Structures are given as structure tokens and as C-alpha cells.
Amino acid sequence: MTQAVGIARAHTNIALIKYWGKRDKDLFLPMNSSLSLTLEAFYTDTKVVFDEELTADSFFLNGIEQSKTEIKKISRFLDLFCEYTGERPFARVESFNFVPTAAGLASSASAFAALALAVADALKLDMTRQELSTLARQGSGSSTRSLFGGFVEWSMGTSSGDSMAHPVDDADWDVGMLVLAVDTQEKKIASRVGMEHTVQTSPFYPAWIETAKEDLKAIKAAIATKDFEAVGQITEHNGMKMHATTLSANPPFTYWTADSLLAQEAVRRVREELQVPAYMTMDAGPNVKVLCRVSDMKILIEALSAYFPSEKIIASLPGPAAYVLSEEDWEQSKIHFAKGSQG
């Protein structure tokens, strides 16, 4: 092999039952199983070129060469694949994020899922998606779920080999999500740090684990019967419980800002006024995501526009599983990114 090239796209995902806490930090084994919705509107495209002529790994994100620290994360991730391939040549990794970076919109989820699939494509690895998800997991926990589309479960497993994602449902039954991007500043407490602090110090943490198990069972039953209201209610309750563990950590902290509270209040008011099912959830950042019917999106956006500039309201349909891109697709993606970044 002198050169091996792989290109892939993975969509980001938003957890309805959150992953919050690790039982093994090195292997990214979670304390609880989680369930997400993959989103069509946000994704990462990644190209990896393994080349025997290269003398070091490099990583370009959105056309910008990244720092040594970021490159190290990529190198460490690529090394995981050596278990399957033996020694590897150095690689050049290029990614374009069609996700507002570090806005609590889990760009790391799509990032490592796209990289994992690009590597599998480049090296022609003979492994299932589920096996690949065990590797994506070790880049960033939530990326294990981004290898699949629709509603996806990440089973906590018993070891590294079976802590993997699997698809639950296509979510093609009038399900969508609005992102209220109230604040796109970089988050102050990385989720990795926040979850560890919470596991160690929140007296509510054991209750989180116990009830997250029940929530997962209940939401899967609701998905199976396409009971949208139940899916939404479980989602909202589970998200609030996750955030209650940060408020009860010692010292306490929160990902919410004043704008997040305004957004939450707007969602409550709008769903009261319109009498439509719309349920919120939040991650390790200030933005509010609203699980809603695709058929209600238009009236919801109109009503929410009374509270936010409409450009801060981003609608998404359920997204597909990660997939391999051709060189032509890659060229198109670069053009698309360049156009987008020029505003």
C-alpha cells in the first residue's frame, strides 16, 4: 500500500435518553445505555489518506490545520485500528463540519463516526457497523450512535466489545427536531469534565442511573407503538434529570444560561398556546432542542419567532446512517462548505 483513501459522511445525533457518566474513562464505557435521534441537518464529511510517504499525522478542520493536541486525539484514534490492520502509515485527515462547532450540538458525535467510517473504507476493513461503533465510541461516546440513522440505541454492554450502537427505528413517522441556537459560544465545561464531576459528587447520580434505565425501556416501548407524546414526555423528563445532576454536583454547575431559560419558557408557552406536542431537551451546552412533529414545524417556528430571530431556529428531519462518499461528492462538499462559510 502506498496510499489508501476513504471518505465518509456522518450526521450528528441528539440524545433523548442521555449518556451521562463513564464507568471506564479510557475505554469510553458508559454508566447507562442511551438513545438518540440522528439529525439530517448537521453532519461532518471526512477524508482520510494513509500514505507511506508521510512523516507525521495531520488534521485539517474546515480548511484550518489543527493544533498538536487535536492531532494527538486523531492519532490516538487511528491507532485503535492497528488491532485490525497491524502497523499503519501516517495519515492526513481533512474534515468539514456542517455543524456549528462546540455549540452543544455534539459535533464530536458526527466527527468520530465519519472518521471511523472513512478509515474502515480506506483500509477495506471487514467489520459490521456495530463493531465499527465500538471503535467510534472510543473517539467520543456519543459518536457510537452516529453510525446509524433514525432512533438509535447505544447499549452500555459488559465490555469494550459489546458496548455498541444499533438502530431502533427509522423515525419516518412525522418526527423532527428544532434547534434553538440561543448561544453558539464554545461551552465552558467540556462534557467529559462535567460528567466525571457529576458522577463523583452528585448525590442524585444513583437515581439518575436507576431512572435512565426505566426511561430507556419506556421510550423504546413508545417508539414501537409510535406514541409521539410519550416519546416526547420521556425525552423532556430524562433531559431535565440529567441537568439536575449537574445542579446537585459539588460544587454545582449548569450548562444553562439566561437565554436557555428564556428558550425553555418560550417552548412551554408556545406548546400551551398552539396545543401541539413539542418537548425540549438540552445537552452539555446552552441550546435547547425541541422534539416535534414535522407537520407542526411551520406553526412552531412562526410562534417561536416571536421570541428569537428566526435564523436561530434550525429545523431538522431525522438523518440517515453514516455513509461512504465518492471523490466527486467530496469535491462538492468542499464547494458547499466554501459557499456556506462566505455566508
Residue in 15, 122, 270, 290 binding ligand 2P0, rule: CB under 6 A: 15
Residue in 23, 73, 192, 213 binding ligand 2P0, rule: CB under 6 A: 192
283 near ligand 2P0, rule: CB under 6 A: yes
Q: Say what the alpha-carbon torsion angle 47, 331, 129, 152 is, to the nearest 10 degrees.
A: 110
Spatial neighbors of 329 by CB under 8 A, at least 6 apart, are 7, 9, 45
Cα–Cα separations (whole angstroms), residue 296 to 256, 273, 275, 276, 319: 26, 13, 10, 7, 18
Spatial neighbors of 307 by CB under 8 A, at least 6 apart, are 262, 263, 266, 270
Hey, CA dihedral for 145, 181, 177, 241, is it positive or negative? Answer: positive
Stretch that binds ligand 2P0, among 44-52, 65-73, 138-146, 321-329 (CB under 6 A): 138-146
Residue in 6, 19, 81, 152 binding ligand 2P0, rule: CB under 6 A: 19
Cα separation, 212 vs 71, in Å, equals 35
Which C-beta is closer to ligand 2P0: that of 49 or that of 113? Answer: 113
Residue among 336, 283, 259 at smallest CA distance from 177 = 283
Cell of 180: 434553538
Spatial neighbors of 185 by CB under 8 A, at least 6 apart, are 103, 286
97 near ligand 2P0, rule: CB under 6 A: no
212 near ligand 2P0, rule: CB under 6 A: no
141 near ligand 2P0, rule: CB under 6 A: yes
Cα–Cα separations (whole angstroms), residue 255 to 107, 244, 245: 17, 11, 11
Stretch that binds ligand 2P0, among 13-21, 83-91, 209-217, 222-230 (CB under 6 A): 13-21
Helix axes 258-274, 297-304, angle to 10 degrees: 130
Residue in 163, 191, 198, 333 binding ligand 2P0, rule: CB under 6 A: 191
End-to-end CA distance of the chain: 40
260 near ligand 2P0, rule: CB under 6 A: no
Q: CB of 17: closest distance to ligand 2P0 in angstroms? A: 8
- 41 half-sphere exposure, CB direction, 13 A CA radius: 14
Q: CB of 6: closest distance to ligand 2P0 in angstroms? A: 22
The residue whose Cβ lies closest to ligand 2P0 is: 141
297 near ligand 2P0, rule: CB under 6 A: no
Cell of 313: 431556529
Which C-beta is closer to ligand 2P0: that of 192 or that of 334? Answer: 192
| C-alpha 86: how far from chain center | 30
Which C-beta is closer to ligand 2P0: that of 135 or that of 270? Answer: 135
Which C-beta is closer to ligand 2P0: that of 123 or that of 319? Answer: 319
Residue in 142, 246, 264, 316 binding ligand 2P0, rule: CB under 6 A: 142
Residues 100-119 that bind ligand 2P0 (CB under 6 A): 106, 108
Which C-beta is closer to ligand 2P0: that of 31 or that of 123? Answer: 31
Which C-beta is closer to ligand 2P0: that of 123 or that of 136? Answer: 136
Residues within the interface to ligand 2P0 (CB under 6 A): 15, 18-20, 28, 34, 106, 108, 140-142, 191-192, 283-284
